Amino acid sequence: MVNENIKKMADLLRSGSTMLNMACPICNNPTFRNKNGIIFCPTCNRKVLIATSQNHSNERTEILHNKEPGTNNQNKQIEILSLLQDVLFEKLEMITDKLKNETHLQLIETYTKMLLNLLDLLNKISVKRDKL
Ligand SMILES: [Zn+2]
């Protein structure tokens, strides 16, 4: 029952739980964190275990960042990076298209260098985004 879920979620928020921007891996509904720091899904009525990244770094999951005051700033950064990513993909496509029909060796070299730079940038963006 959808309405029941919404009511349940509203009650949770009122009782001091925080809604997380992470969906339950089972039912895809929003998950919550209660005052004790336990993350759970009110729809499945079960605790949600967060898979921590396999990195060696001690980075916390994005859920923990959520509580920090810098959230807006972070969203803004993610927004900018996504936009940049889109633009770079567009250019990547454009240059690839030009490269396809190019016969002038020097221009081919120029284009491939551009592509290399674009790919490098895209790679850096995805690393940066993962850290946000
Ligand atoms: Zn669930």
Residue 7 pLDDT greater than 50, yes or no: yes
- Looking at residue 118, its amino acid is L
Given a contact cutoff of 8 angstroms between Cβ atoms, the answer to whether 18 and 32 are in contact is yes
- Give residue-wise pLDDT tens across range 83-130: 899 999 999 999 999 999 999 999 999 999 999 999 999 998 888 888
Question: What's the 29 CA to ligand 1 centre distance in angstroms?
Answer: 6
Residue 24 CA: distances (Å) to CA of 29, 30, 62, 85, 112: 5, 6, 14, 27, 43
Handedness of CA 87, 88, 94, 98 (dihedral sign): positive
pLDDT digits (tens, 9 = 90+) for 40-90: 998 888 888 776 555 444 444 444 444 455 567 888 888 888 889 999 999
Q: From the CA of 21, how far away is ligand 1's center (Å)?
A: 13
> How long is the chain?
132
Q: How far is the CA of 31 from the centre of ligand 1 (A)?
A: 7
Give pLDDT, residue 62: 47
The one-letter amino acid code at 64 reads L
Higher pLDDT, 63 or 17: 17
In which region does residue 104 sit, left (phi positive, over 0), alpha (psi from -120 to 50) or beta (all else)?
Answer: beta
**What's the pLDDT score for residue 2?**
65
pLDDT at 65: 45
Sheet holding 30-33, edge to edge: 18-23, 30-33, 39-41, 46-47
Is pLDDT at 34 greater than 50 in this prediction?
A: yes
